[in-house]
Structure 1
Amino acid sequence: MSEKNKIQVLAFPQFIESQSHPESNRYVFAYTITITNQGAIPAKLLTRHWLITDANGKVQEVRGEGVIGEQPYLKPGESFRYTSGAMIETPVGIMQGQYTMRSDEGESFNAIIPKFTLSVPRTLH
C-alpha cells in the first residue's frame, strides 16, 4: 500500500452485559471503529470483511457492503466513526478483517483492521 492510500483503523471493544447470557453461551460485544484517511488522496469504503473467532476456534465470517448502511468517503485527514456489535459463544474472542477501499484515482486497496480482543471484564489478566 502506498503512502497515498493509507487508512488507519482503530477499534475499541466493549462487553455488553445486559444483552449477554453466559448460561446460554451468548456473549455480546459492541465495538467502536474509527477509520482515518492518513493518505494523500480521498477514498471511499466499499465493502467489509470480518473474521470473528471465539475461544473454541469457531469462526464467523462477515462480508458486506459498507458499514452500518454507509459507504463513507474520506478526504485526507478525515475520519469516520461507527459502532456495531458481535455475538460469540465464549467469554473471549478476537476480531480482525479488512475494508476494501477505492481511491479517487480508481485504485482499489485494502485497509487492514488489526486484530483486537473481545473479552468479558476480569476474564483476561
Structure 2
Amino acid sequence: MYSEITGAIRVVVEPRYLPDHSDPEEHRFVWAYSVKIENLGVDAVQLRARHWRITDAFGREQTVDGPGVVGEQPLIQPGSSFEYTSGTPLGTPSGFMSGHYDMTGPDGQIFTVSVPSFALDLPEAAGRPH
C-alpha cells in the first residue's frame, strides 16, 4: 500500500496484478489499482480532474488527463472518504504510476493533491524492480 498526505487530504493506493486480463506472450500486463481519498480537514472538497503519468520498464511514458475519476467528480465531506478502482495495461512486466488530482475547496479555488507514486511489478518478479 502507498500513502501520501497533501494538506488535509490523504490518498492511499493499492495496486494489484490481474493475471486473468494479462497476456505476457503478447506483452500485455494489466493492473488494477484501488484508491481511497480521505478528507482529514474541516471543509468539504470536490475532486475535479485527474492527471496520471504511467511509465513502463523501458521508461516510455504515457499521460492521462481527464475530468474526475471513474466518471465521477465526488464531493468529499470532512471526515469522509471516496474509494474507487481503476486499471491500466503496460507493455512490460513492471513500471510505475504517479500523478495528482485537482480539487476545489469551499472558496472555489483549485488546489493540487499528490497521489503517491506506486509500483506496478509482477508479484513473482525477482527483486521487485520498484
Tell me the TM-score normalised to structure 2 length: 0.90
SS in 2 for 1:23: helix
TM-superposed deviation, 1:76:
1.1
The C-alpha deviation readout for 1:52-73, integer Å capped at 9, x for no partner, is 0011101110000000000010
2:100 match: secondary structure: strand
Q: Which residue of 2 aligns with 1:102?
A: 104
1:17–1:55 CA distance, 2 compared to 1 (3 A): same
Shift of 1:40: 2.1
- What is the Cα deviation at residue 124 of structure 1? 4.5
2:66 aligned with 1:58: no
**Could you list the runs of 4 or more consecutive aligned residues of structure 1 that deviate by over 6 angstroms after TM superposition?**
none
**Which secondary structure does the structure 1 equivalent of 2:124 belong to?**
coil
Match of residue 38 from structure 1: 40
Q: Distance in 2 between matches of 1:124 and 1:68?
A: 33
Q: Could you give the per-residue CA deviations for residues 31-59 of structure 1, whole angstroms, max 9, x where no partner exists?
A: 00000111221110000000000111011
SS in 2 for 1:18: helix
Matched residue, 1:11? 13
Residues 6 and 111, structure 1, Cα contact 8 Å, conserved in 2? no
Q: Distance in 2 between matches of 1:45 and 1:79?
A: 11
RMSD of the TM alignment (CA)? Answer: 1.0
Paired position in structure 2 for 1:27: 29
Give the Cα–Cα distance (whole angstroms) in 1 for the partners of residues 14 and 25 of structure 2.
26
Change (3 A) 1:45 1:122: same
Which amino acid is the alignment partner of residue 112 of structure 1?
Answer: S
Q: How many residues align?
A: 121
Letter matched to residue 7 of structure 1: I
Q: Identify the residue that residue 113 of structure 1 maps to in structure 2.
A: 115
One-letter amino acid matched to 2:117 = K
Any idea what the Cα deviations from partners look like across 1:61-97, whole Å, max 9, x if unmatched? 0000000000010111110000000001111110010
Q: Of the candidates 86, 89, 105, which is equivalent to residue 88 of structure 2? A: 86
